A and B are shown apart, each in its own frame.
Chain A
Amino acid sequence: MTMSKILVGYYSRTGNTKTMAEEIAAGAHEAGAQADVLAVESLTPDALLPYKAIVLGSPDYYGGMAAPLKKLLDDSVKVHGQLAGKIGGAFASSANIGGGNETTILSIIQALLVHGMIVPGVAAGDHYGPVAINAPDDRALRQCRKYGKLVAELAAKLGC
């Protein structure tokens, strides 16, 4: 079986979301996948194509994703149709409990569904995707690792 290629794209100013991205990649790696961790500013829509799973993370800005990530998703219309059937996921970090982590994650997941991507939920844990409050604590890091593993295992099952 070929190794699944997973992209963990993030936008991070403080480094908190980046730390989460790295932990998600570590989880995917644990499950036997190859994972790249890249800042969204360095990504283009075409750069998304080689990956079988794309997980995107953002800090929570006004209850939604940060503008640079929104811009990447807006630009991804260029590859619309070519991401269908890939696995998608999302994660977020916020300064406050109740700061909008879940609405941020859902705003990303909605875009992934518009692409026709396949999105797993999490039965026990952070249901829509991992969240952190400020610097990710042990709990958040565990959720990230578990999520990376879940995404990688789903990719493997779908023969990616």
Chain B
Amino acid sequence: MKKVLVVYYSRTGHTQEMADAIAKGAQTAGAQAVCSAVQDVNVKELVQYDVIVIGSPSYYGAMAGDVKKFLDATIAVQGALRGKVGGAFCSSARVSGGNETTLLSILHAMLVHGMVLTGGSATFPYGPVAIHAPDDTTTREECMAYGRMLAELAAKL
């Protein structure tokens, strides 16, 4: 069974809701999925997972400082994440609030780790995004579809 870790930073709970939906989606593909706040994850734990998905609110067009701090600390496992599947998700206060630039800032770090990324669907090419709360069913469904897609890719690898 593939193991999926969904890491998030969330102050309002919006990004956390997205994380829960992504984990649920991964479970529908038969994976075991765990959601953790970034503050609770030790970078050494990452090596046990087949899929690592990281989500953040958009702060000044990029990931929150806590997520960047976490990614900076992953130098401790540089080389050990190679070939794992990576993904990102983001929530923002407004349309054009930096969701895509935030996603890309996370995906860039994953490429440096040698992880394998996948484009999402036509509606969320870099990863799912929400404006404020992911209260519409579309965003939740997109998050679930993304979780499922990442778990299925890991199963193929």
Q: Are B157 and A158 touching (Cβ within 8 A)?
A: yes
Q: How far is the CA of A113 from the CA of B107 in the complex (A)?
A: 11
Which of B13-21, B31-39, B114-122, B128-136 forms part of the interface with chain A?
B114-122
A84: which B residues are within 8 A, CB to CB? 119
CA distance A157 to B82 in the complex (A): 14
CA distance A128 to B117 in the complex (A): 11
Instruction: Say yes or no for A117: interface residue by CB 8 A criterion.
Output: yes
- Interface size classification for chain A: 20 to 34
When C-beta atoms are compared, the residue in chain B nearest to A113 turns out to be B119
Q: A121–B121 contact, CB under 8 A?
A: no
Asked whether A120 and B125 contact (CB < 8 A) given A84-B119, A115-B119, the answer is no
**Quick check: is A116 within 8 A (CB to CB) of the other chain?**
yes
Nearest first, the 3 closest Cβ-Cβ pairs linking A and B are: A123-B114, A121-B111, A113-B119
- A-B pairs with beta carbons under 8 Å apart, 20 shown: A80-B122, A84-B119, A109-B111, A110-B104, A113-B107, A116-B121, A116-B125, A117-B119, A119-B116, A119-B117, A120-B83, A120-B115, A120-B117, A121-B86, A121-B115, A121-B116, A121-B117, A127-B112, A128-B112, A158-B157
Q: Which B residues are closer than 8 A to A by beta carbons?
A: 78-79, 81-83, 86, 104, 107-108, 110-122, 125-126, 153, 156-157
